[in-house]
Structure formats: structure tokens, C-alpha cells
Structure 1
């Protein structure tokens, strides 16, 4: 009778802080890094950013709603070219990183075309109280040739939903969009239909080209995170060089 040989578990390590300890969060088991507090999408984000030539354009890299651990790594890598922003920068007062104010609804239109070398925002668009497709289009406009647009949104519904009304209660937004301060939810079935036009002329870079399944597993990132339109999704686009 043959004896089954079990495969030893993969040694886990957070790519952001190097910790090998992970803990539970709510009903999810072993998903939060005990060192820096990162979840799967933040660890995946750093894996992606570490593979991109962020310095190539020589222009500033914009990071909106920055994850603290990643912000520190990017600042160390890019120096003065790294720019962190948030709609409410005061919430970063204790983070010891400089964060400026940026309103994606009003400030992008005043920025020069091709003036930014990279733009990163993860789980930000669901909070933005204006046309989300136009925001994406404006970000792509200000990107310099060779610059990257890296972003993620939560997929909470099959079809896109939105209501910018200030009359909705927290309970209404929780029911419709999955969170009390969201103004929209993104549909996993119609995202490309709703927002693909904003990326006309951009090069889409699949995560599978950047990250191997084994590398993701070592960082405790599930394989489904490397496919689009799920709770861990990240999108990577590059503006072509003429």
C-alpha cells in the first residue's frame, strides 16, 4: 500500500515589510500581515509596482490614498519624484510621510498633458463624487508617454450602480454599494463596457505577465487575484511611446 506524501506548506512572507506572520480578519483566515497590517490587494500592489519601470519617464509618480508601507518603499525608491495625495490628507498626520491634497473631480483638468510619470490609486473611485469614467480619462491624459496607470476597484455587483445623491443614508449606501461611504459599485460583468473607452490607445498589461502564481502564493495572495474582476483585482495600463 502506497503512502501519500504531503507537500510542505509554502513559506509565507509579506513583500512590503518582510514579516512571516499572518492573522485572521473578521471571517477571513490568515489574510492580514501581522507586521504592517496589509491585505492581499496591497501586497499584490507592491509586487506589481516593484516590476514596473517607474523611473523611466523622469516625471513624478502620483500615489492617491497611499498605503503607508508602500508609500515608504516608493519614497525610498523614487525620492522627490514620489508624490502622495489624498482628498483628506490630514488623516495621514501620524504616518510621517508628506501627503498633499488632490481632488480627482476638480484638480486633474488643470494639470498639463503628459506631466505625470505614473498614477496609482486602489479602491478610490468608489468614493469619488463625479463621473468616474471622466476621472480615468483625465488621469490617462496627464500621463507621460511610457507612464503607468495602476488602479483597483472593488467589484460588489454584477452590473454597475451609481447614485451621487446626498440624500441617501448610510444604510442606503451600505445596501446598494456595500459600504456606507461609497457612491457606486462596479460590476464584474460590465466594467469594460462602462470604462473601456477611457483607456483607448493605452496598453493593457495582464498581471500574469508581471507576477507568477508561485510568487503570489508566497505572499499569501490567492491565485484568483491574478485575474480581473474580483475583490483583489488590479489593472495595469501603460501609455505608449510614440
Structure 2
């Protein structure tokens, strides 16, 4: 059920979006518009550092409640035929999104582990990305969609993800990053919720990645297969589908 304020916003959205139709690729429904993120986003990080990540103004589908990064990931995966390749594969999925999880379950992978440091349902295992309890070369895919900005030690996390992937296995490692910063920014003195919100963009983020994020990942045993919306989804109107055209697919292969 949508909140009363959210319902009111949706009913009155026509006056703001005009006649351009929107479409949710997850529930396959036309919508008047996508709902904005209800949290605070007018902070230093989002405005001055030009964060590439979620589209906070076209965030949630009013029907299935999927969010923009789920829609974008689904569009990328479908176009690259990753979804069919996940059939009969072994998959480890951190912070599993409800709609993406449903799609993965429907294609019947041979093993599908949903993981989170703070599980919210019985089907999600409590797993710390810094110490993953699986043997080397176990999984064909690992998915961590907007997770790396939360972990305390990125290098250890990436080494663990690389370790449990098979050679040639693929990692979907989406994370927001600044298109302005050349180097990732983090400081242990930034410890309060308000400080993290203003400088990192969210209360539970512990860093802002810079343009070095791609090198950080490849320096931990991965080969970049990163691709952009313009390269892969050139036939997809980002406004119509409610996705951020600037967000690339963070796809990496274990070498």
C-alpha cells in the first residue's frame, strides 16, 4: 500500500510530467510517472560531486515498487543475455532486491544464495562480505547492487568476491560514484549520520567513490566488462523507463 502522501503525489503527477508516457520494465505496466525518493538528497554530495547512481527523481514504480537501479540492471542483463545465462548457474546475491530475486528464482539457477549482513527475511542468509563462508571458485555470478559503498574495507570485500567466483565468473558490482572526484574519498572522522549524509550522500555510506572505482575493482583480480547505457541500451529511452542514462553497468569478470 502506498502512503497517503505518496498517493496524493501520484494522483497529481500529471500536471508535472505532461503527456510523455512512462513504462516499468519490471511489472510491464504503463505509469503516469515514477515516484521520487522520499529521503533527503539535496546535499553537498549529490549536487557538487555529481553523483552517478540512482535517479532520485524517478525512483520507484507506483505499481510494483521496484526502484530505478532494479529497472536499469534488468534492462542491461536482458540486453546482454545475462538472465538466460543465470539458468542452472550458481549465484550469490548480496542485499537482494525483491523484484530481481523473483526474476532469478523464475529462471531456476542451480544454486541461489541471498545474503545480507542484516537479513530482513528468513530466506536471506547472514553473510559478511568481508568473510564469505564459501569455498574458492564456487559461484558463476555474484550480484552486489549498491553495496560496496557500505562495506568497511573495499579491498577485502573485492578479494572475497573474486575468491568465491569461478574463473570467468561475472560480478555485477553497481555502486554510486562521483564523476567529479578523481580519487575515492573517505575519512574515519566522518562518523555521524548527518555528516555521512552530507558528504557521502546517505547516512549509512562510508565513502564516496571517485573515477578510480573501476581501477580499484580491476586491481583486485577482475577484468572490466563495463558498458554504458548509450553503448548497450541505445534503443531504450531513459526518461520513459525511469533510469539514469549516466549509470554504466558495473560488470566484471574474474581472470
Q: Normalization by structure 1: what TM-score?
A: 0.75
In the other structure, the counterpart of 2:111 is 81
More strand by share: 1
Deviation at 1:65, TM superposition (A): 0.4
Structure 1 residues 128, 30: closer, same or farther in 2, change over 3 A?
Answer: closer
> d(CA) in 2 for partners of 1:152 and 1:198?
16
> d(CA) in 1 for partners of 2:237 and 2:221?
27
1:113-166 per-residue CA deviation (whole Å, 9 max, x = no partner) reads 21111000111111112x20221122122211332100111124613122356x
CA contact (8 A) 1:174 1:180 kept: yes
Matched, 1:34 2:62: yes
Structure 1 residues 174, 84: closer, same or farther in 2, change over 3 A?
Answer: same
Matched, 1:206 2:227: yes
> d(CA) in 2 for partners of 1:237 and 1:149?
5
Q: Normalization by structure 2: what TM-score?
A: 0.71
Structure 2: unaligned runs, 5 residues or longer: 1-18, 42-55
Deviation at 1:46, TM superposition (A): 1.2
Structure 1: unaligned runs, 5 residues or longer: 1-8, 226-232
Matched residues, number:
213
In the other structure, the counterpart of 2:35 is 24
After the TM superposition, which residues 51-90 of structure 1 pair with which residues of structure 2 at under 5 Å, given as runs? 51-52=81-82, 53-55=84-86, 58-79=88-109, 81-89=111-119
1:165-222 per-residue CA deviation (whole Å, 9 max, x = no partner) reads 6x822122223312212111111x332344431144x252424598322235352324
> Please, what is the CA RMSD of the aligned residues?
2.8
Matched, 1:48 2:76: yes
1:67-96 per-residue CA deviation (whole Å, 9 max, x = no partner) reads 11111111111255222111111x236xxx
> d(CA) in 1 for partners of 2:22 and 2:92?
30
